[in-house]
Amino acid sequence: MGETGSAAEGRGRTRIQRLNQARLLDAALKVFSQEGFRAATLDQIAAEAGMSKPNLLYYFASKEEIYRAVLDRTLDLWLEPLRGLDPQGDPVEEIRAYIRRKLEMSRDNPQESRLYANEILRGGAVIMAEMTGPLRALVMQKAAVIRRWIAAGRLAPHDPVHLIFAIWATTQHYADFDAQIRAVLGEDAGDPIEGAERFLQQLFIEGLRPR
């Protein structure tokens, strides 16, 4: 992951300064995910964090810098479940656990998902280097693991990269389209993630079991 100047400096800051920086990133995440990059302002972010604009500018020199820092943190968080795919584990159980972790992230971190989706819809220019570098490398690394499982007869043959894409699409849908999902299911439907996990586990796992 790339690191902004402020993020790099943060390692040498006091505990209070690190807490303030984290508070600003949380506030920026909320504002950017609701307003989008263009409409969001530093005044809105400072107000959401309960800080003054000059105080914000002590930590981040511009809207672009804080946006990049939030995206870097989001992408790092979002890829953590994929990093956890264990080559030494049982293939079916590893993919089952990956689906579960991705759904949990959609439930627990919807703002991060929407921020990332909005950046991709804008063309992904801010994180293009990460997408074509570390993100692509991680996907290819885990795709190679899945190919070895397939070659060993432990999974049914599938395109590993498109399998990862499909898991991303179906799990992150529950964050990005939460309002639509709840509108369709109705107020008494409960947590949609529970039903999503049952369905997606059946959809993916039954399709991946070796014949």
Surface-to-core class of residue 58, CB atoms within 10 Å of its CB (0-12 exposed, 13-18 middle, 19+ buried): middle
50 and 123 within one domain: no
- Domain at 126, CATH number: 1.10.357.10
Higher per-residue confidence, 15 vs 201? 201
Task: Enter the tokens of residue 150.
Answer: 């397939």
Across 156-160, average pLDDT: 96
**Distance, CA of 70 to CA of 60 (rounded, Å):** 11
Q: Which helix (H) or strand (E) holds 207?
A: helix 192-208
DSSP class of residue 134? I
The average confidence (pLDDT) of the chain is: 91
95 and 62 within one domain: no
In a domain, 35, yes or no: yes
Which pLDDT tens digit goes with each residue over 130-145? 999 999 999 999 999 9
One DSSP character per residue, 136-154 reads HHHHHHHHHHHHHHHHTTS
**Distance, CA of 19 to CA of 21 (rounded, Å):** 5
In a domain, 73, yes or no: no
In a domain, 116, yes or no: yes
148 and 89 within one domain: yes
Name the nearest CA neighbour of 171 among 83, 101, 115, 124: 101
179 and 100 within one domain: yes
Q: Which helix (H) or strand (E) holds 23?
A: helix 15-39
93 and 60 within one domain: no
61 and 24 within one domain: yes
pLDDT reported for residue 174: 95
| pTM check: above 0.75 | yes
In this prediction, what percent of the chain has a pLDDT beyond 90? 82
Q: Which residues contact 28 (CB under 8 A, 6 or more apart)?
A: 40, 45, 48, 49, 66, 67, 69, 70
61 and 89 within one domain: no
With a cut of 90, say whether residue 10 has pLDDT above it: no
- Domain at 44, CATH number: 1.10.10.60
In a domain, 110, yes or no: yes
Range of the domain at 12: 5-67
In a domain, 178, yes or no: yes
Are the C-beta atoms of residues 200 and 102 closer than 8 Å to each other? no
173 and 104 within one domain: yes
Number of domains in the chain: 2
Across 102-128, average pLDDT: 92
